[in-house]
Amino acid sequence: MKKTGAWLATYALEQIGARFTFGIPGVHTTELYDELNNSQKITPVLVTHEGGGAFMADAVSRLSDSIGVLTVVPAAGLTHASSGIGEAFLDGVPMLVICGGPRSDSDYRFQLHQMDMHKFMSGLTKATFKVTSHEQVVPTLFEAYAIATGGEPGPVFIELPVNILLYTGEVSDLPRYAAPLPEPFGFEQEILRAAELLRHAKHPCLFVGWGTRNAFDQFKAVAEWLEAPVATTLQGLSAFPGNHPLHVGFGFGASAVPAARNAFKDCDCLLAVGTRFSEIATGSYGVDVPENLIHIDINPETIGANYPAKVGIPGDAALVSNQLLKALQASGPRRAVQSALRAQIRSDKEAYRQSWYKSDVPDRVNPARFFDQLRLQTPDDGIIVVDDGNHTFLTAELMPIHAPRSVILPTDFNCMGYAVPAAIGAKLSHPGRLVQTIVGDGAFLMTCMEILTATSNHLGVIYYVFHDGELSQIAQAQEIPYNRKPCTKLGPVNLEGVALATGAAFVRMPDNDSIDGAIRQAIEISCSGRPVIVDVKIDYSKRTAFTEGAVKTNFQRFPLNQKVRTLTRAFTRRVTG
């Protein structure tokens, strides 16, 4: 039979269950977009910038069982999308990057958009492919999907030359996609050793990350069996219920909130699952990890990379947790409820919140009071999309997340501008769930015009823009050692004007008294399918535990002469103004 490469690519995407593609059509992909438009299973979504499309695809993969798919033109379209591809790569998010390519049947050089895209993509993806015949289209996309979703997930790049997409070619058959069979587990002895260490520990603790997103109930059961406090990574905020009495917060070291620091203070056995112990997760490596570390991660290269593991198990968190729970249950009786531990966690959390209430200032919104109301008015399955900045750590410390896969945010790659488009991908994936975004004004300005995509698709996403006029996370990091904040003050922006330009509704939140009503109004408007921009006049005067802890950790690591230089400069500038 004869088929165009565009028809074959669409067929393959339908076979693997893709629901959306994101991108901007160009001369290399017109045939592909025409075929996608014919599909009854896939909706091609036009974006305003390919970077936004990559973040949308990222959100689809994070929040649904479908994979996010990019369909972009070569060179400029691909380079625009690269930030979102890189975010997915470092965050372990599957994605298919389907890119048109220059003609492969031409001897002419310097074609439009011609560049070595595979060299460019090699550091941002798990694998790259270039299709050279029609017969390869479907098998290549099937293989790319298996790689993207297998092991530690990540993006895979596929180049489809324009002549392959546009012309018909002979194919022998149309295979159906069959998922690869799971490999045998094979870590029974390590599981028994881990269970033994946990059973004999006096103060076991759990540290869970993004890798446990599909093992929410299992690790809740493990924590309750051990009666162990649980901290999460930043990306793993929804890996354990924030309203559980054993939940202590984000992180557990010097940069963590008091509940986590106190609960982990005497930890003699740490069960860490689905985390790489990366810089943000550890507050710039400011955590004390006990000798008895049990490290479970699907990527064997992460185990023991930053902290030596007594027991290392490279495996899927859901599978390992089931085996571990069975081993614990067989090893002896469940630990009694630690009333004193639970009371201390509850008391520490309340005291920390009270410290925020005391920082009220006139004509500004107190972050703790904002998140109190947001939590009250958000259903447990409501989706929160967070950008990169000071607001990230405010959300982590002050917004308890109750349900799995209900918060997404950029980590490690830490790409500002993530949240506005990612929230669109979230709403497309779950049109019946409330989708709200926490974004700083600096990050908002990077991608705010993507709200046009939300408007044109009738997506009622709410954007809470924390508006203070600065790049506050960096401004705070500068102010402490330098007593000045160069290049962090933003130009004045009229957020109501952005709403007018993009077709969004606009709501003001100028002070604490307006919080309740503004959130209610935004939610009501969003139910009509219209995006909403909420101008939150946020007060950033109080620093998060993460910011203060990370600064101290890094300063303590300085050599003595650098400490003296830094302190002298800071003191002199404060005295002289």
Residue 196, in any domain of the structure: yes
Q: Quick one: 118 and 226 in the same domain? A: no
Query: What pLDDT is stored for residue 109 in this prediction?
Result: 80
Q: What is the CATH number of the domain that holds 503?
A: 3.40.50.970
The one-digit pLDDT tens for each residue of the chain (577 residues) are 899 999 999 999 999 999 999 999 998 999 999 999 999 999 999 999 999 999 999 999 999 999 999 999 999 999 999 999 999 999 999 999 999 998 878 777 877 777 899 999 999 999 999 999 999 999 999 999 999 999 999 999 999 999 999 989 989 989 999 888 877 778 899 999 999 999 999 999 999 999 898 888 999 999 999 999 999 999 999 999 999 999 999 999 999 999 999 999 999 999 999 999 999 999 999 999 999 999 999 999 999 999 999 999 999 998 999 999 999 999 888 899 999 999 999 999 999 999 999 999 999 999 999 999 999 999 999 999 999 999 999 999 999 999 999 999 999 888 999 999 999 999 999 999 999 999 999 999 999 999 999 999 999 999 999 999 887 787 777 777 777 778 878 889 999 999 999 999 999 999 999 999 999 999 999 999 999 999 999 999 999 999 888 888 888 888 988 878 877 887 788 777 6
Structural domain range at position 231:
188-344
Q: Quick one: 159 and 193 in the same domain? A: no
Q: What is the CATH number of the domain that holds 312?
A: 3.40.50.1220
Query: What pLDDT is stored for residue 110 in this prediction?
Result: 77
Query: What pLDDT is stored for residue 179 in this prediction?
Result: 84
Write down the pTM of the prediction: 0.94
Q: Which DSSP helix (H) or strand (E) runs through 263? A: helix 258-263
Total structural domains within the chain: 4
Q: Quick one: 554 and 522 in the same domain? A: no
Q: Are 289 and 269 in contact (CB under 8 A)?
A: no
Residue 67, in any domain of the structure: yes
Q: Quick one: 337 and 383 in the same domain? A: no
Strand duo 247-250 + 230-232: pairing:
parallel
Residue 176, in any domain of the structure: no
Q: Quick one: 394 and 529 in the same domain? A: yes
Query: What pLDDT is stored for residue 174 in this prediction?
Result: 93
Domain boundary, last residue among 310, 344, 378: 344
Q: Quick one: 477 and 449 in the same domain? A: yes
Q: Quick one: 213 and 332 in the same domain? A: yes
Residue 183, in any domain of the structure: no
Nearest to 205 by CA among 234, 237, 240: 240
Q: How far is CA 216 from CA 236, 326, 377, in A?
A: 10, 16, 23
Q: Quick one: 409 and 506 in the same domain? A: yes
Query: What pLDDT is stored for residue 23 in this prediction?
Result: 98
Residue 358, in any domain of the structure: no
Q: Quick one: 157 and 133 in the same domain? A: yes
Q: Quick one: 152 and 198 in the same domain? A: no
**Burial class of residue 377 (count of CB atoms within 10 Å of its CB; 0-12, 13-18, 19+):** middle
Q: Quick one: 335 and 392 in the same domain? A: no
Query: What pLDDT is stored for residue 475 in this prediction?
Result: 77
Q: How far is residue 425's CA from residue 408's CA, in Å, rounded to a whole number?
A: 11
Residue 374, in any domain of the structure: yes
Q: What is the DSSP string of 43-60?
A: EEEE-SSHHHHHHHHHHH
